[in-house]
Chains A and B, each alone.
Chain A
Amino acid sequence: MSSVAEVGASYSGRQRFPALRALLADPITSIALVLVVGFLVTAAFAPWLAPYSPTRIDVLHKLQPPSMEHWFGTDHLGRDLLSRVIHGARTALMIAMVSVAIAGAVGLLLGLIAGYGPRWLDAILVLTFDSLNSLPMIMFALAIITVLGAGTGTLILVITMTSFPSYARLIRAQTLALKNSDYILAERLLDAGPFRIIFIHLLPNVVGPLIILLSMDIPVVIMVEAGLSFLGLGVRPPTPSWGSILYDGYTSIRSAPFMVIFGGLPLVLATLGFTFLGEGLRDYLDPRMRAGRPA
Chain B
Amino acid sequence: MTPLLAVEDLSVTIGQGGFLSRLLDPRPLPGFNIIDGVTLALMPGETLGLVGESGSGKTTLARTILGLVKAAAGRIAFDDHEVRTSVDFRAMRRRSAMMFQDPVASLSPRLRIGTLLTEPLVIQGVAVPDRRATAKTLLAQVGLPASFVDRFPHELSGGQARRVGVARALSVKPRLLLADEPTAGLDVSVQGDVLNLIAELKRDLGFAAMIVTHNLAVIRHVSDRLAIMYLGRLVETGPTQDVFDAPMHPYTATLIQSEPVPDPRRRRADLAIRGEIPSVFRRPPGCEFHTRCPIAQPRCRTEAPAYRHMPGERTVRCHFPLETGGQEREAFSRASPNHRGNRHDQMEHRPA
Q: Tell me, yes or no, whether A and B come into direct contact in the complex with CB atoms closer than 8 A.
A: yes
A→B interface (CB under 8 Å): 6, 9-10, 119, 181-183, 185-193, 196, 200-201, 204-205
Contact B100 A185 (CB under 8 A): yes
CA distance A279 to B19 in the complex (A): 40
Interface residues of B in 94-142 (CB under 8 A from A): 94, 96-98, 100-102, 105-111, 119-120, 123-124
Contact B155 A190 (CB under 8 A): no
Q: Which of A189, A201, A205 contacts B68 (CB 8 A)?
A: A189
User: In the complex, what residues of A have CB within 8 A of residue B90's CB?
Assistant: 191
Is the CB of B93 closer than 8 A to any CB of chain A? yes
CA distance A21 to B278 in the complex (A): 53
User: In the complex, what residues of A have CB within 8 A of residue B93's CB?
Assistant: 189-191
The smallest C-beta distance from B228 to any residue of chain A, in angstroms, reads: 25
CA distance A265 to B66 in the complex (A): 63
Q: Which of A6, A183, A187, A188 contacts B105 (CB 8 A)?
A: A183
CA distance A6 to B160 in the complex (A): 13
Using known A-B contacts A9-B155, A182-B105, A190-B119, determine if residue A200 contacts B111 with beta carbons closer than 8 Å.
Answer: yes
Is the CB of B343 closer than 8 A to any CB of chain A? no
Contact B108 A187 (CB under 8 A): yes
> Which of A6, A186, A187, A200 neighbours the largest number of chain B CB atoms within 10 Å of its CB?
A186
Residue of B nearest to A207 (CB): B110
> Which of B105, B108, B120, B172 neighbours the largest number of chain A CB atoms within 10 Å of its CB?
B108
User: In the complex, what residues of A have CB within 8 A of residue B172's CB?
Assistant: 190
Contact B108 A201 (CB under 8 A): yes
Residue of B nearest to A181 (CB): B105
User: In the complex, what residues of A have CB within 8 A of residue B109's CB?
Assistant: 183, 205
Cβ contacts A to B, 23 pairs, < 8 Å: A9-B155, A181-B105, A182-B105, A183-B106, A183-B109, A185-B68, A186-B106, A186-B107, A187-B108, A189-B66, A189-B98, A190-B119, A190-B123, A190-B172, A191-B90, A191-B123, A191-B124, A193-B123, A196-B123, A201-B111, A204-B110, A205-B108, A205-B110
The smallest C-beta distance from B323 to any residue of chain A, in angstroms, reads: 41
User: In the complex, what residues of B have CB within 8 A of residue A188's CB?
Assistant: 68
User: In the complex, what residues of A have CB within 8 A of residue B97's CB?
Assistant: 189
Which 8 pairs show the lowest CB-CB distances between chains A and B? Answer: A204-B110, A182-B106, A182-B105, A186-B106, A182-B100, A201-B108, A183-B108, A190-B120
Is the CB of B340 closer than 8 A to any CB of chain A? no
User: In the complex, what residues of A have CB within 8 A of residue B344's CB?
Assistant: none
Interface residues of B in 157-184 (CB under 8 A from A): 157, 172
The interface bits of chain B over 12-39 (1 if a CB of A lies within 8 angstroms of the residue's CB, else 0) are 0000000100000000000000000000
User: In the complex, what residues of A have CB within 8 A of residue B157's CB?
Assistant: 6, 10
Number of B residues, CB within 8 Å of A: 28
Contact B124 A186 (CB under 8 A): no
The smallest C-beta distance from A236 to any residue of chain B, in angstroms, reads: 44
CA distance A192 to B66 in the complex (A): 14
CA distance A189 to B98 in the complex (A): 7
User: In the complex, what residues of B have CB within 8 A of residue A191's CB?
Assistant: 90, 93-94, 123-124
User: In the complex, what residues of A have CB within 8 A of residue B107's CB?
Assistant: 183, 186
CA distance A6 to B97 in the complex (A): 29
User: In the complex, what residues of B have CB within 8 A of residue A186's CB?
Assistant: 98, 100, 106-107
Please give 4 more A-B residue pairs, beta carbons under 8 A apart, in addition to A191-B93, A193-B123: A9-B155, A10-B155, A186-B106, A201-B111
User: In the complex, what residues of A have CB within 8 A of residue B308's CB?
Assistant: none
Residue of B nearest to A187 (CB): B108
User: In the complex, what residues of A have CB within 8 A of residue B203's CB?
Assistant: none
Contact B123 A9 (CB under 8 A): no
User: In the complex, what residues of A have CB within 8 A of residue B66's CB?
Assistant: 189
The smallest C-beta distance from B105 to any residue of chain A, in angstroms, reads: 4
Residue of B nearest to A11 (CB): B155
Residue of A nearest to B63 (CB): A185
CA distance A201 to B120 in the complex (A): 13
Is the CB of B309 closer than 8 A to any CB of chain A? no
User: In the complex, what residues of A have CB within 8 A of residue B105's CB?
Assistant: 181-183
User: In the complex, what residues of A have CB within 8 A of residue B19's CB?
Assistant: 119
CA distance A153 to B132 in the complex (A): 47
The interface bits of chain B over 140-161 (1 if a CB of A lies within 8 angstroms of the residue's CB, else 0) are 0000000000000011010000
User: In the complex, what residues of A have CB within 8 A of residue B100's CB?
Assistant: 182, 185-186
The smallest C-beta distance from A182 to any residue of chain B, in angstroms, reads: 4
Residue of A nearest to B107 (CB): A183
CA distance A185 to B69 in the complex (A): 11
Using known A-B contacts A187-B108, A189-B93, A200-B111, determine if residue A182 contacts B155 with beta carbons closer than 8 Å.
Answer: no
The smallest C-beta distance from A207 to any residue of chain B, in angstroms, reads: 9
User: In the complex, what residues of B have CB within 8 A of residue A9's CB?
Assistant: 154-155
User: In the complex, what residues of B have CB within 8 A of residue A189's CB?
Assistant: 66, 68, 93, 96-98
The smallest C-beta distance from B49 to any residue of chain A, in angstroms, reads: 21
User: In the complex, what residues of B have CB within 8 A of residue A10's CB?
Assistant: 155, 157
User: In the complex, what residues of A have CB within 8 A of residue B106's CB?
Assistant: 182-183, 185-186
The smallest C-beta distance from A66 to any residue of chain B, in angstroms, reads: 52
User: In the complex, what residues of A have CB within 8 A of residue B63's CB?
Assistant: 185
User: In the complex, what residues of A have CB within 8 A of residue B108's CB?
Assistant: 183, 187, 200-201, 205
CA distance A189 to B172 in the complex (A): 12
